[in-house]
Amino acid sequence: MVHQPGALEVEMGNMIPLLQQMSNFSERCNQVVLNLVQQLCSLYSTRWHLYQRVYKNVQMVPVYESLADLFEVRALCTHRRFLCPRSRGCCQPRRP
């Protein structure tokens, strides 16, 4: 495939906003996960006994499901943007 001089540089320049958005999203995900883990650590800490007194009957399943959804979104974004270029067609929905 023959490219015009400078075409690849222009294409990379056009990708910079997308890469910045993905970097921002990834950093925000890291901050959310860190905050969640810190809160869970303090909740289960034997020093405060909060779990035994207050949260013993609270269902934590929605928290863990939301965390799993966040990981799934990150994985799909990474897969679709970097590992599965549209030119190969592997990210297109399958037709019956």
Confidence (pTM): 0.61
pLDDT at 79: 60
Report the share of the chain in percent with pLDDT over 90.
4
Radius of gyration of the chain (CA): 21
Q: Per-residue pLDDT for 27 more than 70?
A: yes
pLDDT for res 1? 62
Domains of the chain by residue range = 15-79
- Residue 35: pLDDT band (50, 70, 90) is very high
Please say whether the beta carbons of 77 and 22 come within 8 A: yes
Q: How far is residue 63 from each of residues 47, 56, 67, 69, measured CA to CA in Å? A: 23, 15, 6, 10
Q: Is the pLDDT of residue 89 over 50?
A: no
Cα separation of the two ends of the chain: 33
When pLDDT is cut at 50, 70 and 90, the band that residue 77 belongs to is: low
